[in-house]
Each structure stands twice: as structure tokens, then as C-alpha cells.
Chains A and B, each alone.
Chain A
Amino acid sequence: MINTLIEYLRFPFVRYAIIVGVLIALCSALLGVTLVLKRFSFIGDGLSHVAFGAMAIAGVLNISNEMLLVLPVTVVSAVLLLKTGNNTRIKGDAAIAMISVGALAFGYLLMNIFSTSSNLSGDVCSTLFGSTSILTLTTREVVLCAVLSIASIIIFILFYNRIFAVTFDESFAKAAGLNTEGINLLIAVIIAVIIVLAMNLVGSLLISALVIFPALSAMRIFKSFKKVTISSAVLSVVCALSGILVSILAGTPTGSTIVAADVVCFALCCAAGVLRGKI
């Protein structure tokens, strides 16, 4: 088995998949802690559907580099969604649900009406579940992905203390003179970027898993914000790595294998948390 693995690792596309997978898993786990605690677990889901809709439009318009359309549209939706969180007329969760299914419906509708490919359901399926796209990344996509995720990680580290303050108590942070709107905007932009990147990895239906599972697993065991953040990043990377390797060896779809690894990891952490509570 080790030999087959080494054999596979000779191919550049496998190495690309691993690099991209690890970076995206790392970023999504870092932001995931904040989103889960701010009660925004579903934002990943909503935004990924928006990205799906945007991708359908890009396909219809025959835009060669989809990112140019998908990224700005998703960023704008993220900003709008986090803003409506404070709005009283439409609550945050309802707004997310609305945008999410709306974008999904329009995306599929457009793909159907202006179908350019002979295998429509195959296209839809791979956008939704990211079946093999991670293994067909071009060098340019890998570089873009690496740059954006490393930038997100650096920004997260620099703003770590402020993100903590805003997550724990927004009104106190604002009273202390922190630009809370600015920080929320930053969180929204980073999460949108990560979600667009993660579509390659797990597809748009499974992104929420990448965002929330590592954070929830880490919270079962650890008790300080720093430990939760670090361990959720570590768990996420381990799960992504093992998911990718298993999927290569066993020929399973990459995205769902990673998510399955996350679920198993969550179950183990729950058990560990319970055991720890008893001791």
C-alpha cells in the first residue's frame, strides 16, 4: 500500500491536490471557530450555493476564468449576509436560507436552459460534490489557491486578538473603541474567499462540513480559545490529508471522503470529551 502511495505521489496532480487540500482545510478550520461561536454555522452553506449560482452564470456567459465572477459575487453576498445578521426585519438564519436556495435554484435553472455541455447532470454533480475537480487543478489554480489561503492565514493571525474580542462580546469590543464593523467585514470577505477555494475540494454542498466539523470537534475537548483554534486547524488538516490519501488509494470521491473523515473525527472527540468529563 505504501508503494502504491509513493507511486501516486510521483504525479504532480496528486501533490497539487494535497497542497491545496491542506491549505484550504487549515483556513476553513481557523475561521470555522469564529463562525460556529457567532452562530453563523450555515453561512458556509449559503455562500457555497451562491458560488454555485455564480459559477452557472459564468458557464452560461462562457467566461474562461470563472474565479473572476464567482469570487466577487460571493464576497458581496457574504458582506450582505453578515450585515443582515443585525437587521431586525429578516433574521440572519432566514436570510441565509433564502439566498442559499434561491441561488441554487437559479444556478441549476440557468445551467439547464443554456446548457453547453452534453453531460449536464455530470456537470451539476461535480460542482455540488466536487467529485474529481481537485485532481484536475492547473498550476495557475494551485498558485492562486496557495496565495489566497496563505494571505487568509496571515490576516487571521494578525487580527487574532481582535477577532476573539468581536466574537466573544461585540458590544464590549465596540465600546472599547474597536472597529467591529470593519472586523466583521474582514471575516465575511475571508470566509467568502475560503468558500470559493473550497469548492474545488469538496464541492458546494459539503463545504459547511469543512467549516464547522473541526471547530465543533475541538470544542468537545479544549477549553481555551487559542487551544480550540489551533487544535481545530490541526484536526482539519489531518482529516483532509487522510481523506485525500484514502480517496486516491480506494478510488472514492475526494470531497465526501474528507467529510466522512471529519465526521469520524467528531465522533472520536465527543467520546474523548465524555471520557475526560468522567475522570
Chain B
Amino acid sequence: MALISVEGLATGYESRLLKDDISFTVEEGSYLCIVGENGSGKTTLMKTLLNLIEPVSGQIRMNGLTHKEIGYLPQQTDVQRDFPASVKEIVLSGCQGRCGMRPFYSRAEKKLAADNMERMGITELKDKCYRELSGGQQQRVLLARALCAAKKVLLLDEPVTGLDPRAAMEMYEVISGLNREGMTIIMISHDIEAALKYATHILHMGSNIFFGTREEYVNSDTGRFFLREGGVQA
């Protein structure tokens, strides 16, 4: 059975409809890329999946998974760019969902944060200030934080925006590595080339919505049109 299944979902803000009739499923261990034009409702869909905004109608069913157990990598905000916080503090804040009513972090949670910093290769940066890091390093910090919250699924909202090509490449490799370790990935991306390279499934948001495997997408009308527009050879 699918880890997440979405049926006839309509998303929007305060019941103002943005997009309706979205249906797709996410299997455990798969890599889903959500592509589409700006303003096609990709981020809204992701926020609906995270229960940050209420669905207008339709159903999201999660199998053996709660909202809290999804690791989330949001787009960076202005506030964060000059935030005086150490890497360690930020990664540790990913454990917040595990705390419940407890005011302070437990030893196990500190260990988890340290392990995830190791996993992302940022252990030596742990006392550095977030605002002094490079874009790629900042994304790794936020990814380590998301991993502290994630049990099975990671939701990434344009994780390579603002990164130089090499840092973007590294970021994709890191994410792909996590996927090979068994983490289910759902990623919003503008980068159709990378989507085709790494994803197992594609959800295309636009005037008509397409969902299917990578191969089905490449051979579909939507996919062919979009790929030609983007100048990508598939």
C-alpha cells in the first residue's frame, strides 16, 4: 500500500480555490518530483501535504505516517539570511516535533542532531554562524534539520534555488544518496533535467495535471511539450 495517497485534492488559501482534482500516490522509497510553471500551486500543494493549510476538499491518506514525521525543507526566508544562530542550534531545532511538552532537548535528541550533522558532512561547522555559511552549506544545515524530524519522508521545496551549479549538483547527489538509503523524497523543482535524472515519478502541475512514472512522463503529451519548451533532450 502507498505511503501517501492523494485523491481528488483541491488546494487553496482560505477556501479560495487554487487547484483542484489533484491525485497521486507516493510509494515508500520512491522519488517524486513536482514540476510546473510558477504559480501553478506546487508550494501550496506541499503546504497542504504538511497540514500547514487545510485542503479545500478531497483526501490525503497517510499510511503509518503522521504529519510530524515528514521532514520539511522550506524555501529560505529573508529572516534567516542574517540570523545569529549556530549550526548546532538550527539542526537541533529539527527535533522540536519530538519534544512534545518537554521544554528542553534530551540526550537522545542531541545525539540524533549530531548524527545528522555527520551525515550531511557539516560536523566541523557546528559552532559556525549560519549567516556566514555559503548557500550550499546553509542548505545542508536545513537538510540536516529536516532529517531530525523525518522518519520516512522528506519534502523539499526547490532545494537548489540560489545555489551555484556545482553546489546544486552536490545537493542533488546528497538527496539522491538519502533516497538510496531508503528515504522517500518529494521535491519541488524548476530544474526539469535534474528531475528526469533522479526522480522515479513526476507530478506535473499546470493547466492539466499529469502524474506517472518518469518514463510515462517523457512519452506523454504534457511531458513532451514541457520538455521541448525547456529545450531538454529526453
Interface string of A33-75 (1 = CB under 8 A from B): 0000111000000000000000000000000000000000000
Q: How far is the CA of A173 from the CA of B142 in the complex (A)?
A: 12
Of listed B47, B50, B86, B96, residue having the most chain A CB within 10 A: B96
20 CB contacts below 8 A, A to B, read A37-B79, A37-B84, A161-B93, A161-B104, A161-B105, A168-B79, A168-B80, A168-B85, A169-B74, A169-B80, A169-B93, A172-B94, A175-B68, A175-B74, A175-B149, A176-B72, A222-B84, A224-B89, A225-B84, A228-B84
Q: How far is the CA of A235 from the CA of B46 in the complex (A)?
A: 43
A175 touches B93 (CB 8 A): no
CB distance from A182 to the nearest CB of B (A): 12
Is A164's CB within 8 Å of the partner chain B? yes
Is A276's CB within 8 Å of the partner chain B? no
Q: How far is the CA of A223 from the CA of B86 in the complex (A)?
A: 7
Is B97's CB within 8 Å of the partner chain A? yes
Residues of B within 8 A of A (CB): 47, 50-52, 67-68, 70, 72, 74, 77, 79-80, 83-86, 88-90, 92-94, 96-97, 99, 103-105, 127-129, 132, 145-146, 149
Contact of B93 among A38, A39, A165 (CB under 8 A): A165
Question: Interface residues of A, CB < 8 Å — how many?
Answer: 29
Chain A residues contacting B84 (CB-CB under 8 Å) are: 37, 219, 222-225, 228
A175 touches B86 (CB 8 A): no
A175 touches B67 (CB 8 A): yes
Q: How far is the CA of A176 from the CA of B98 in the complex (A)?
A: 8
CB distance from B60 to the nearest CB of A (A): 14
A224 touches B127 (CB 8 A): yes
Q: How far is the CA of A165 from the CA of B70 in the complex (A)?
A: 17
A165 touches B103 (CB 8 A): no
Known: A175-B72, A222-B84, A224-B129. 18 other contacts (CB 8 A): A37-B79, A161-B99, A161-B104, A162-B96, A168-B79, A168-B85, A169-B80, A171-B52, A171-B74, A174-B50, A175-B52, A176-B94, A177-B67, A177-B68, A177-B96, A178-B97, A224-B84, A225-B86
Q: How far is the CA of A224 from the CA of B96 in the complex (A)?
A: 18
B97 to A, closest residue via Cβ: A176
Contact of A165 among B79, B83, B96, B129 (CB under 8 A): B96
Q: How far is the CA of A224 from the CA of B85 in the complex (A)?
A: 4
Is A114's CB within 8 Å of the partner chain B? no
CB distance from A232 to the nearest CB of B (A): 10
CB distance from B74 to the nearest CB of A (A): 5
Chain A residues contacting B149 (CB-CB under 8 Å) are: 175-176
A38 to B, closest residue via Cβ: B79
CB distance from A229 to the nearest CB of B (A): 9
- 4 interchain residue pairs of minimum CB distance: A176-B97, A223-B129, A224-B86, A177-B68
Given known A-B contacts A39-B79, A160-B103, A171-B47, A223 and B67 have beta carbons under 8 A apart:
no
Chain B residues contacting A222 (CB-CB under 8 Å) are: 84
Q: How far is the CA of A172 from the CA of B93 in the complex (A)?
A: 10
Chain A residues contacting B92 (CB-CB under 8 Å) are: 161
Chain A residues contacting B77 (CB-CB under 8 Å) are: 169
Interface string of A170-189 (1 = CB under 8 A from B): 01111111100000000000
CB distance from A131 to the nearest CB of B (A): 35
Chain B residues contacting A172 (CB-CB under 8 Å) are: 72, 74, 93-94, 145-146
CB distance from B143 to the nearest CB of A (A): 12
Chain B residues contacting A171 (CB-CB under 8 Å) are: 47, 52, 72, 74
B68 touches A176 (CB 8 A): yes
Chain B residues contacting A226 (CB-CB under 8 Å) are: 86, 89
Chain B residues contacting A168 (CB-CB under 8 Å) are: 79-80, 83, 85, 90, 93
Q: How far is the CA of A259 from the CA of B50 in the complex (A)?
A: 45
Contact of B89 among A159, A164, A177 (CB under 8 A): A164
Q: How far is the CA of A37 from the CA of B83 in the complex (A)?
A: 7
CB distance from B7 to the nearest CB of A (A): 22
Interface string of A127-160 (1 = CB under 8 A from B): 0000000000000000000000000000001111
Interface string of A105-132 (1 = CB under 8 A from B): 0000000000000000000000000000
Chain A residues contacting B47 (CB-CB under 8 Å) are: 171
Q: How far is the CA of A175 from the CA of B68 in the complex (A)?
A: 6
Q: How far is the CA of A162 from the CA of B92 in the complex (A)?
A: 11
A164 touches B85 (CB 8 A): yes
Chain A residues contacting B86 (CB-CB under 8 Å) are: 223-226
CB distance from A243 to the nearest CB of B (A): 25
Chain A residues contacting B88 (CB-CB under 8 Å) are: 224
A225 touches B74 (CB 8 A): no
Chain B residues contacting A162 (CB-CB under 8 Å) are: 96, 103
Chain A residues contacting B89 (CB-CB under 8 Å) are: 164, 224-226
